[in-house]
Amino acid sequence: MDKKLSTLAILGATGALGKGLALRCTNAGYPVIIGSRSAEKAQKSADELNEQTGLNKVSGLDNRSAAAAAEIVILTVPFSNQRDILEVTREELQGKILVDATVPLMPPKVRTVQLPPEGSAAKAAQEFLGEGVRVVSAFQNVAADHMRDTEHEIDCDILVCGNDSDAREVVVQLIQSIGMRAWHAGRIANSAGTEALTSLLIFINQRYKIDGAGFRITGTPART
């Protein structure tokens, strides 16, 4: 019998990255709930995705209801808005895995690494939410346009950081199940590295006129 796939809430999937992620998760068979500050806006995005995929697997709710209804919650909102959404959903996230894609870009200098005082956006999320929520960071180095274009094979790797190795493994498996390569990359403090890499990629994209540069891990693993 097929394994039942977890219900995912993607908070901010009305926007660029979350929409692409919702599309790829839906195509892989996951039930997806789009979270937004506005339930109507979330439902409109869900209707568009259902029409695009021909599947009826996406629904839309306000962020708090979406977090409450899901088994795994993914956060795809700008850094300036990350704390607001965590405040709204803090209670609903307890006992769950939160996958945080936030990159602490601080416009206008987005080509320069600028990390928050806590060390990284994901570490700040973990400290704010407490140990009852297993925060895992991922997806900071993948271009939203590539995620949304399902004809485009994602040819960069996803680095996955978090303090709980079981939660990290769940997220690594989830990413692999939607067709991408994922790597355990250590504790949540290491998310500083992945978040910082995004500014390097933005610089490289502009310097070399690349449409969405990415990173790959080289070497052959002797264990998975």
Ligand X SMILES: NC(=O)c1ccc[n+]([C@@H]2O[C@H](COP(=O)([O-])OP(=O)(O)OC[C@H]3O[C@@H](n4cnc5c(N)ncnc54)[C@H](OP(=O)(O)O)[C@@H]3O)[C@@H](O)[C@H]2O)c1
- 46 or 144, CB closer to ligand X? 144
- By the rule CB under 6 A, 133 interacts with ligand X: no
How many Å apart are CA 157 and CA 160, to the nearest integer?
Answer: 10
The full DSSP string for 6-47 is: PPEEEETTTSHHHHHHHHHHHHTT--EEEEESSHHHHHHHHH
Q: Which of 7, 43, 81, 176 binds ligand X (CB under 6 A)?
A: 81
**Cα 23 from Cα 32, distance rounded (Å):** 9
Q: Which residue is nearest to ligand X (CB)?
A: 15
Give 38 or 173: the residue with its C-beta nearer to ligand X: 38
Cβ proximity to ligand X: between 83 and 187 the closer is: 83
Distance between CA atoms of residues 175 and 219, nearest Å: 20
Q: How far is the CB of 15 from ligand X (least distance, A)?
A: 2
How many Cβ atoms from other residues are within 10 Å of residue 95's Cβ? 9
Cβ nearer to ligand X, comparing 131 with 172: 172
Q: Say how many residues touch ligand X, by CB under 6 A.
A: 24
Residue closer to ligand X, measured from CB, 11 or 170 = 11
Rule CB under 6 A: say whether 101 interacts with ligand X: yes
Half-sphere exposure of residue 219: CA atoms within 13 angstroms, side-chain side: 6
Binding mask 31-70 for ligand X (x = CB under 6 A): -----xx---x-----------------------------
Task: Report if residue 102 touches ligand X, rule: CB under 6 A.
Answer: yes
- Does residue 144 bind ligand X (CB under 6 A)? yes
**Minimum distance from CB of 214 to ligand X (Å)?**
10
b/e 4-34 (16+ beta carbons within 10 angstroms → b) = ebebbbbbbbbbebbbbbbbbbbbeebbbbb
Residue by residue, DSSP assigns 152-182 as: S---SEEEEEES-HHHHHHHHHHHHHTT-EE
- From CA 82, how far away is CA 99, in angstroms rounded? 12
Residue with smaller CB distance to ligand X, 178 or 224:
178
Among 73, 105, 159, 170, binds ligand X (CB under 6 A): 105
Question: Residue numbers of the site for ligand X (CB under 6 A)?
Answer: 12, 14-18, 36-37, 41, 76-81, 101-103, 105, 139-140, 142-144
